[in-house]
């Protein structure tokens, strides 16, 4: 069968993972030692091989017990795809390479946003390896190739890339996204008007303590306040009000981490880091330069990104040279420093910081965030609030959720919060409440709010997008499991955007399918505008013209003997 005739879809790019991966690149001098970023990790499956922390992290895992497992005891490696992000895609390729090299039962890589056989290995014979790497890296850089496709073109690994997308659901999702983007700017301006009205009225009606709690919550959720700082605000208020802390074990662990943080000399750790990097070879400095980021806000913690991938790589290099390997993959590193200088004793504060980051990673993010939300609610109730006070708190949260909804930035936890609040604090109730408080105040009539025509339409399109995401998850699994059974596969890789992960993990657990969820490290900012250009530039109106073979045929043309230059 001719390869170019195979059905191919551009992979559907979920923006939700991107939110937590945004980071602004800067000129490299050194990566600043920063306070931690809360990262989810809860390993339950012990892999018989290691994946370097600089490449990927195990976000979660589940081992079905013998009475729960499906008959063939399937194991899924769930890889989160940082769409259109070059560093994320290259680390995805490295992660996949490690999995394929160590788990010989792996034969297929399943992927969203594509249909059927999307393998590119048949192109390996068309050009020498150096040329294939050059062309493939250009495709990754431009957001047109994924890490799995890069590996398929540039390695000797034997695997099939198989698309599990539902064309109908894909097209509907794409149209919903287009409808949201079309009106997003107008309704973002409308939300700013609602926020201005809320802030004016909150100053009139809320007690100073409640106003401060809500304001700190807003700063935390917007990324302007670290999770530890927000927790300390809640903790101080809870202590003042006599709120018991017995049910907040994970938050108490967070407090222990804060104490460790207070014991760190960040300035000294920065100095030690710079000294270590300066002593390395130009090759190593360049590698670390590429891994260096100046972080933006973390969606989970509000803390500036600690450059986790960078510091994991730095530690690997230091320990590899001193003969203290952190994993089973040999790190080639050329240092101009002698072995005696590269010891923990030489850089005590830097290694102390490494340990601090590892301790932070042990916190279970889901539990921390759940407990934080619970403590916030307990503090608000302990303040003896009125129904109006509670509504002000809901209005504040709902405005933030609408902002995220229209920019497709809801996390799964945000989405759950949105669904629970929309009946009590949807736009009609929200604006009605604020207008009533204006009337009660006999002032600020200039802040009166009117329903914006079309608001419900953009809400409906946004909600449909999220609903279709869940339906697509079921389609992914149906196609993947059917083919695994037909091919007698006991393990496989599934690559999807990050928003899919939470629901897929829940389905896996329900059906007794073991999994390991992996997040490749991302070291550079994702170009969201580029992502939307690629996503919304697709011309797909009906399921019948989805099978255009666009990516395979494009790559086949590029690799043709007459193609002497990069596209």
Residue burial 244-264, b: 16+ Cβ < 10 Å; e: rest: eeeebebbebbeebbeebeeb
Query: Of 371 and 297, which is predicted with more confidence?
Result: 371
pTM for this prediction: 0.70
pLDDT band at 524 (very low <50, low <70, confident <90, very high): low
Which residue did the predictor score with more confidence, 455 or 336?
Answer: 455
Greater model confidence, 357 or 19:
357
330 CB burial (10 A radius; 0-12, 13-18, 19+): exposed
Which of 191-205, 380-394, 520-534 reaches the highest mean pLDDT? Answer: 191-205
Residue by residue, DSSP assigns 217-228 as HHHHHHTSS-HH
Mean pLDDT, to the nearest integer, of 229-255? 88
Q: For 34-56, write each residue's pLDDT tens digit.
A: 443 333 333 478 888 889 888 99
**pLDDT by residue (tens digit) across 98-136?**
999 999 999 999 999 889 999 999 999 999 999 999 999
Say which residue the tokens 């196609």 belong to. 479
309-320: per-residue pLDDT in tens? 788 888 888 777
Run of H or E including 81: none
Cβ–Cβ under 8 Å, residues 35 and 261 = yes
Rounded Cα gap, residues 153 and 556, in angstroms: 11
- Identify the pLDDT of residue 290: 72
User: What are 135-138's contacts with CB under 8 Å, separation 24+?
Assistant: 135/558, 135/559, 135/566, 135/567, 138/566, 138/567
> Residue 14 above 90 pLDDT?
no
Is residue 414's pLDDT more than 80?
yes
In this predicted structure, what is the pLDDT of residue 528? Answer: 56
Mean pLDDT over residues 296-301, rounded?
29
């Amino acid at each position: 069968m001719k390869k170019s005739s195979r059905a191919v879809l551009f992979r559907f790019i979920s923006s939700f993972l991107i939110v937590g991966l945004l980071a602004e690149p800067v000129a490299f001098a050194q990566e600043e030692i920063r306070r931690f970023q809360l990262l989810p990790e809860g390993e339950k499956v012990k892999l018989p091989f290691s994946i370097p922390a600089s490449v990927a992290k195990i976000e979660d895992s589940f081992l079905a017990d013998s009475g729960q497992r499906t008959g063939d005891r399937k194991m899924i490696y769930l890889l989160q795809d940082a769409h259109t992000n070059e560093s994320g895609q290259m680390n995805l390729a490295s992660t996949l390479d490690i999995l394929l090299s160590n788990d010989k039962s792996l034969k297929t890589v399943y992927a969203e946003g594509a249909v059927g056989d999307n393998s590119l290995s048949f192109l390996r014979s068309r050009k020498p390896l150096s040329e294939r790497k050059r062309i493939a890296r250009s495709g990754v850089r431009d957001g047109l190739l994924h890490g799995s496709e890069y590996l398929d073109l540039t390695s000797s690994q034997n695997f099939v890339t198989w698309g599990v997308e539902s064309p109908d659901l894909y097209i509907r999702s794409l149209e919903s996204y287009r409808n949201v983007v079309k009106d997003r700017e107008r309704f973002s301006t409308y939300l700013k008007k609602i926020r201005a009205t809320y802030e004016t009225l909150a100053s009139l009606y809320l007690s100073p303590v409640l106003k401060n709690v809500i304001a700190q919550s807003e700063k935390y959720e917007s990324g302007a306040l670290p999770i530890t700082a927000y927790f300390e605000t809640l903790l101080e208020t809870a202590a003042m009000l006599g709120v018991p802390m017995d049910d907040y074990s994970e938050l108490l662990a967070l407090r222990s981490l804060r104490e460790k943080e207070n014991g760190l000399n960040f300035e000294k750790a920065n100095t030690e880091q710079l000294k270590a990097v300066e002593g390395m070879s130009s090759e190593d400095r360049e590698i670390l330069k590429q891994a260096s980021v100046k972080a933006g806000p973390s969606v989970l913690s509000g803390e500036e990104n600690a450059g986790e991938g960078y510091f994991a790589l730095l530690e690997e290099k230091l320990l590899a040279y001193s003969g203290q390997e952190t994993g089973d993959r040999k790190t080639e590193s050329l240092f101009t420093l002698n072995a005696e200088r590269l010891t923990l004793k030489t850089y005590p504060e830097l290694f102390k910081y490494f340990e601090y980051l590892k301790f932070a990673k042990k916190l279970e993010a889901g539990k921390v965030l759940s407990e934080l939300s619970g403590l916030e609610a307990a503090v608000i109730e302990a303040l003896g609030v009125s129904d109006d006070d509670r509504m002000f708190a809901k209005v504040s949260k709902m405005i933030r959720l609408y902002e995220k909804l229209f920019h497709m930035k809801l996390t799964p936890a945000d989405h759950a919060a949105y669904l629970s609040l929309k009946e009590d604090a949807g736009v009609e109730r929200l604006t009605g409440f604020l207008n009533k408080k204006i009337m009660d105040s006999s002032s600020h009539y200039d802040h009166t709010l009117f329903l914006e025509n079309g608001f419900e339409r953009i809400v409906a399109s946004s909600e449909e997008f999220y609903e279709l995401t869940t339906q697509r998850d079921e389609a992914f699994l149906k196609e993947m499991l059917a083919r695994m059974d037909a091919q007698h596969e006991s393990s496989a890789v599934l690559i999807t955007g990050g928003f899919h992960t939470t629901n897929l993990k829940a389905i896996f657990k329900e059906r007794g399918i073991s999994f390991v969820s992996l997040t490749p490290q991302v070291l550079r900012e994702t170009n969201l505008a580029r992502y939307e250009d690629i996503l919304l530039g697709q011309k797909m109106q009906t399921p019948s013209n989805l099978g255009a073979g666009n990516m395979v045929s494009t790559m086949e043309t590029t690799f043709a003997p007459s193609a002497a230059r990069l596209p």
